[in-house]
Amino acid sequence: MPGDKITYAIYMSNPTNFDNASITVDDLDCPATTLTLKKHWAGATVGNTATLTATRVAGTPAVRTQIDSLSSTATAAANAPGGQTTTDATPTTVFAGDVIELAETFTPATATYHAGLQCTGDVGLSGFTLTVGALGAGAAPIVCTFSNSLSAQPSLVVGKDIAGVADTNDNGVTGDAGDLVTYAFTVRNNGNVALTGVSLTDPLAGLSALAITWPDPANPGTLPVNTEATATATYTLTPRTRHRAR
């Protein structure tokens, strides 16, 4: 990690059959640059968290060492134009020839997103495995960005209940022929995307027109995520349908 001290041991051997009068050792620099992790939300469920990790793979057998991580929680900005971007404020140092595995996990684990990964700088990228290039003079820092857009999961839940029965025939019996039943309806968007063009009908013959209240009266038929529309309608009982009030 940046700031850590590394101790190198240099070994020399003399394969010849005579003593060397003088020996010179030149130590070459190991080209290095920085790796910055970035997370870009382009539509998300507010409160979902993405955790990015960078793991160096070296040696035979391969030894994996996590060298960096970044956590980003989606806010309302994730659903605004341009989305939401989180940038690691403490880039990590990588070296020429490094092999780095990049990964992303979500909380909750059930969150579903379309994922994309893009890296800039002197690198090769195969899937989620990054190989650092030769890093010649003036090599630019490496930046790897995970971009995610929300996978649409629409869900509409409709409910219907009896809100009340009025003894409109004034015979002292509630729920017989001639009485008025009031039904209450709910239509809720339990999905992760806003729904438009929503309508509500009921096949019951003789039911009054539904009086629907939308979350935004200026946009009837539109249900943002985690909102619901409510409605009421009335029905006059007949001798054949008086059981509906029970």
pLDDT digit string, tens, across residues 8-54: 666 677 766 666 556 666 666 778 999 999 999 998 888 999 999 99
**pLDDT of 246 over the 60 cut:** no
Q: Which amino acid is at 214?
A: W
Average pLDDT over residues 144-172: 90
Q: What's the pLDDT at 28?
A: 61
If pLDDT is split at 50, 70 and 90, which confidence band does 171 have? confident
**pLDDT of 242 over the 70 cut:** no
Q: What is the pTM of this model?
A: 0.60
Cα Rg of the chain (Å, integer):
33
Q: What's the pLDDT at 23?
A: 66
Q: Given CA atoms 115, 121, 126, 132 in this order, what sign does their dihedral have?
A: negative
**pLDDT of 55 over the 70 cut:** yes
pLDDT, greater one: 25 or 119: 119
Q: Please state, for a pLDDT cut of 70, what percent of the chain lies above it.
A: 87
In whole angstroms, what is the distance from residue 89 CA to residue 146 CA?
Answer: 16
In whole angstroms, what is the distance from residue 35 CA to residue 123 CA?
Answer: 11
Cβ pair 94, 35 in contact under 8 A: yes
Task: Average the pLDDT over each of 53-57, 122-126, 138-142, 169-173 and give the range with the smallest value.
Answer: 169-173
How far is residue 77 from each of residues 40, 43, 83, 205, measured CA to CA in Å?
11, 9, 6, 47
**pLDDT of 101 over the 90 cut:** yes
Q: What fold does the segment set 32-150 form as a domain?
A: Immunoglobulin-like (2.60.40)
- Measured in whole angstroms, how far is the alpha carbon of residue 160 from the centre of its chain? 33
If pLDDT is split at 50, 70 and 90, which confidence band does 73 have? very high
For the chain, how far is it from start to end, CA to CA, in angstroms? 72
Task: Average the pLDDT over each of 15-19, 101-105, 132-136, 166-170 and give the range with the smallest value.
Answer: 15-19
Q: What's the pLDDT at 226?
A: 87
